[in-house]
């Protein structure tokens, strides 16, 4: 019947003639490496998580936009530093050179420049792609969701930055994933610190990458990398070591402003002054119990210019949960903490796209949703409550034969009245299998039709859980179902 089937058959024949794999084409039935399907149960959890996040974004007055899954290759070029090798390119099939988006931030900046938008508060929830060496066992996917919130525009210092942190705080609270911390630092403080410690200018970025590993590696190993691989002197590394062990709040910012060397560095001074201001706003937003100024935080991406932050769950996650986890660059299997959000200020990115280099200051946050999904899935697994994957209110059923047409007619009436209704696609299903379908999928009500009910102009309405049955006049059925499934 299928042309394509016969084509496949011909190909197989051909292959057989050529010898080789015994004429058997081994078709591998799987998803692409590093990707996964979401089944209905996972989707129900995903939509619950999204709805909490979207509510928060909307509460903060954000609009939403969408950009294509692929961009011109050159749009993504030169934005991700050493990670550029992880970008998926499309095959050159004649036409433009294209790549799958690596994050939602660069497409956002491209969108602002293309449409000459100078201020917007937007969120964007979509999949991004990284040709990472995945090892799904280490919790990395090659296709995964990001939930981004960004504020673009020329505003007074640190107000939008504080709102981004407030948003992370609200979302992690509402998702109820246990205790968490939000680490904050500033690119300018890092740069100033490197300068003061005696790191040569051209090594700032690469030393930054090394510092970024402090959440996974001991200081001793980080220092080794600095000295042996990156060529710093022991002295310089030790001076960095002193700084990156510091943690605190507004007090630490104040203390470092007293540090004669650091405060004389222009960059560090600006960063520390802003950090002080940021904490004063965070105080007003009542989030300082979870936010910590941490000099070891050094996010990898090239485009950050000011404040940077990262949120980390404190709870110990069993290795089994951390498996299908997060992709933001800071995770290992079975580790006790997980980065679930990150972001910062990137004032130069839009200007890289503008023909005249006009800058649009931006600050934003990205929620790394995959690890959150995993934790929620694990929670659902261990909870006694069953996750429903449909919202069906009533099954239209019959115990007698030859009532298919009557069942279809009633189902149609219910659909027309906006009731979520199902009917089994069998001429004469057994009542038991109809009730079983309700048990399995959590449908709370059954509307049962029989010869007698049809004669009397009623429908027998059965509560699946309590097994109670009552005859409802057909004209009242819709209201009765609505009342019972509020």
The C-alpha angle 62, 63, 69, rounded to 5 degrees, equals 120
Q: Is 102 annotated as a binding residue?
A: no
Distance CA 365, CA 367 (A): 7
Of positions 389, 454, 474, 485, contacts a second copy by CB under 8 A: 389
DSSP state letter for 427: S
Of positions 49, 104, 113, 165, contacts a second copy by CB under 8 A: 113
Q: Is 104 annotated as a binding residue?
A: yes
Q: Taking the CB of residue 143, how many other CB atoms lie within 10 A of it? A: 18
From the CB of 394, what's the least distance to a second copy, in Å?
Answer: 10
Which residues from 333-372 bind a second copy, rule CB under 8 A? 348, 352-355
From the CB of 306, what's the least distance to a second copy, in Å?
Answer: 11
The answer to whether 434 contacts a second copy (rule: CB under 8 A) is no
Distance CA 151, CA 361 (A): 8
Of positions 358, 409, 430, 482, contacts a second copy by CB under 8 A: 409
Backbone angles phi, psi at 58, to 5 degrees: -70, -35
- Which positions from 119 to 158 touch a second copy by CB under 8 A, shown as an x/- string? -x-x----x-x-x-----------x-------x-x-xx--
From the CB of 202, what's the least distance to a second copy, in Å?
Answer: 9
Q: Is 299 annotated as a binding residue?
A: yes
Of positions 68, 198, 231, 457, contacts a second copy by CB under 8 A: 68
Distance CA 197, CA 228 (A): 17
CB nearer to a second copy: pick between 239 and 345:
345
Of positions 138, 216, 359, 420, contacts a second copy by CB under 8 A: 420
From the CB of 242, what's the least distance to a second copy, in Å?
Answer: 25
Query: Parallel, antiparallel, or unpaired for β 291-294 and 180-186?
Result: parallel
Q: Is 303 annotated as a binding residue?
A: yes
The span of 319-327, 387-395, 451-459, 473-481 binding a second copy (CB under 8 A) equals 387-395
Q: Is 146 annotated as a binding residue?
A: yes
Of positions 14, 20, 66, 436, contacts a second copy by CB under 8 A: 66
Distance CA 205, CA 302 (A): 8
Distance CA 183, CA 43 (A): 31
Of positions 22, 37, 385, 440, contacts a second copy by CB under 8 A: 37
Q: Is 345 annotated as a binding residue?
A: no
Q: Are the beta carbons of 70 and 390 closer than 8 angstroms?
A: no
- Which positions from 174 to 203 touch a second copy by CB under 8 A, shown as an x/- string? ------------------------------
Which residues from 14-33 bind a second copy, rule CB under 8 A? 27-33
The answer to whether 408 contacts a second copy (rule: CB under 8 A) is yes
Q: Is 479 annotated as a binding residue?
A: no
Distance CA 445, CA 396 (A): 9
Q: How many chain residues are in contact with a second copy, going by CB under 8 A?
A: 108
Of positions 21, 59, 235, 465, contacts a second copy by CB under 8 A: 59
Q: Are the beta carbons of 139 and 326 closer than 8 angstroms?
A: yes
Q: Are the beta carbons of 181 and 295 closer than 8 angstroms?
A: no
Distance CA 30, CA 361 (A): 44
CB nearer to a second copy: pick between 47 and 229:
47
- Residue 419 Ramachandran class (φ > 0 left, ψ -120 to 50 alpha, else beta): beta
- Which positions from 238 to 277 touch a second copy by CB under 8 A, shown as an x/- string? ----------------------------------------
Q: Are the beta carbons of 323 and 137 closer than 8 angstroms?
A: yes
Backbone angles phi, psi at 294, to 5 degrees: -130, 110
Q: Are the beta carbons of 328 and 342 closer than 8 angstroms?
A: yes
Of positions 74, 221, 251, 451, contacts a second copy by CB under 8 A: 74
Distance CA 162, CA 286 (A): 11
CB nearer to a second copy: pick between 189 and 317:
189
Q: 328: which residues sit within 8 A by CB, 6+ positions away?
A: 310, 339, 340, 341, 342, 366, 368
Which residues from 272-311 bind a second copy, rule CB under 8 A? 280-281, 284-286, 302-303, 305
From the CB of 16, what's the least distance to a second copy, in Å?
Answer: 17
Of positions 246, 404, 464, 478, contacts a second copy by CB under 8 A: 404
Backbone angles phi, psi at 122, to 5 degrees: -135, 155
Take residue 211 and report the two structure tokens written for it. 């510092």
Q: Are the beta carbons of 253 and 275 closer than 8 angstroms?
A: yes
Binding residues for L-histidine: 103-105, 130, 146, 150, 299, 303-304
């Amino acid at each position: 019947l299928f042309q394509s089937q016969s084509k496949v058959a011909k190909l197989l024949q051909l292959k057989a003639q050529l010898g080789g794999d015994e004429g058997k084409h081994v078709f591998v039935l799987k998803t692409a490496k590093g990707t996964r399907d979401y089944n209905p149960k996972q989707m129900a959890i995903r939509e619950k998580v999204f709805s909490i996040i979207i509510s928060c974004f909307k509460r903060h007055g954000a609009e939403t936009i969408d950009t294509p899954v692929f961009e011109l290759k050159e749009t993504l070029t030169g934005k991700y530093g050493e990670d550029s090798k992880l970008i998926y390119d499309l095959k050159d099939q004649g036409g433009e050179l294209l790549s799958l988006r690596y994050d939602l931030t660069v497409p956002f900046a491209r969108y602002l420049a293309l449409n000459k938008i100078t201020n917007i508060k937007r969120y964007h929830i979509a999949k991004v792609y990284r040709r990472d060496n995945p090892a799904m066992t280490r919790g990395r996917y090659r296709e995964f969701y990001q939930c981004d919130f960004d504020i673009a525009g020329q505003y007074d210092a640190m107000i939008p930055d504080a709102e981004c942190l407030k948003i992370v705080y609200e979302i992690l609270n509402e998702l109820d994933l246990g205790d968490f911390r939000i680490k904050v630092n500033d690119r300018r403080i890092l740069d100033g610190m490197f300068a003061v410690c005696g790191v040569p200018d051209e090594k700032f970025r690469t030393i930054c990458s090394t510092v970024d590993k402090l959440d996974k590696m001991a200081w001793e190993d980080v220092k080794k990398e600095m000295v042996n691989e990156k060529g710093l002197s022991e002295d310089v590394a030790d001076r960095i070591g002193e700084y990156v062990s510091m943690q605190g709040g507004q007090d630490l910012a104040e203390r470092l402003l007293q540090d004669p060397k650091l405060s004389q560095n222009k960059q560090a001074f600006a960063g520390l002054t802003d950090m002080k201001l940021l904490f004063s706003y965070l105080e007003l937003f009542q989030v300082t119990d979870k936010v910590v100024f941490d000099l070891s935080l050094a996010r990898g991406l090239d485009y950050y210019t000011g404040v940077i932050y990262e949120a980390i769950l404190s709870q110990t996650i069993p290795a089994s949960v951390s498996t299908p986890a997060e992709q933001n660059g800071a995770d290992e299997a079975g580790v006790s903490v997980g980065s679930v959000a990150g972001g910062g200020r990137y004032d130069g990115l839009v200007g890289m796209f503008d023909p005249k280099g006009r800058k649009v200051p931006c600050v934003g946050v990205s929620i790394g949703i995959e690890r959150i999904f995993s934790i929620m899935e694990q929670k659902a697994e261990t909870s006694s409550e069953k996750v429903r994957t449909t919202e069906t209110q009533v099954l239209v059923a019959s115990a007698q034969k030859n009532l298919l047409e009557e069942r279809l007619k009633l189902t149609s009436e219910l659909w027309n009245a906006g009731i979520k209704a199902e009917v089994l696609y069998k001429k004469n299903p057994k009542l038991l299998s109809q009730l079983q379908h309700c048990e399995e999928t959590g449908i709370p009500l059954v509307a049962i039709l029989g010869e007698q009910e049809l004669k009397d102009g009623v429908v027998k309405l059965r509560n699946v859980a309590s097994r109670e049955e009552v005859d409802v006049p057909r004209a009242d059925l819709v209201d009765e179902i609505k009342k019972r499934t509020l």
